[in-house]
Amino acid sequence: MYSEEILSLVDVKRMVRAAEAEALRNNWNVVIAVVDDGGHLMFLQREKVQIGSVDVAITKAKTALMFRRPNKFWEDTVAEGRQGYLALKHMLPIEGGVPLVHNGDIVGAIGVSGVKSSEDGQIAQAGANAL
C-alpha cells in the first residue's frame, strides 16, 4: 500500500498568490491554472488577458503533470528538431507549465499563459516555489 499526499486548497492559494505577485511585480496580465495529480482543475485565475489563454494555461499545467517535467524541456526538445513530440496527446511544448513536487512526489502542476513563454515560465516557477 502507498500513502499519498494531495494538494489542499490552502496550498493552491499560497502558490497562486506567489505567482500573482510575480506577475504584478512585472506588470504582466496572465491566466494562472493549477491542476491536481489527476489533471483536474483546482484553481483558475484570469485578469485582463485574452480568453484563449485560459485553455493554454490549463493545457500547460496538464502537460507538466502528464510528462512530469517543466514544459521548457519540451519546448527546447522540439526547437532542436524533434518534431515527433508534437503528435503526443496532452502535449503543449511551450514554457509556462511546471509540475508541483512535494517530498519527491508530483502532486499537481501549475500553468501560466498571457505573456511571452519565458515570462509565463517565470511566473509558474514562482508559484511552484511557494509549495
Whether residue 90 is predicted with pLDDT greater than 80 in this model: the reply is: no
- Predicted confidence at residue 108, as pLDDT, reads 98
Domain ranges, ordered by start, for the chain? 9-129
Q: What is the pLDDT of residue 71?
A: 96
pTM of the model: 0.94
89 has a pLDDT exceeding 80: no
With b for 16 or more beta-carbon neighbours within 10 A and e for fewer, the 42-55 pattern comes to bbbbbeebeeebbe
pLDDT band, very low/low/confident/very high, at 101 (cuts 50, 70, 90): very high
Q: Give the pLDDT band (50/70/90) at residue 85.
A: confident
24-79 pLDDT tens trace: 999 999 999 999 999 999 999 998 999 999 999 999 999 999 999 999 999 999 99
Q: Which fold has domain 9-129?
A: Beta-Lactamase (3.30.450)
Q: What is the DSSP string of the chain?
A: --------HHHHHHHHHHHHHHHHHTT---EEEEEETTS-EEEEEE-SS-THHHHHHHHHHHHHHHHTS-HHHHHHHHHTT-GGGGGSTT---SS-EEEEEETTEEEEEEEEESS-HHHHHHHHHHHHHT-
Backbone angles phi, psi at 83, to 5 degrees: -70, -20
pLDDT of residue 109: 98
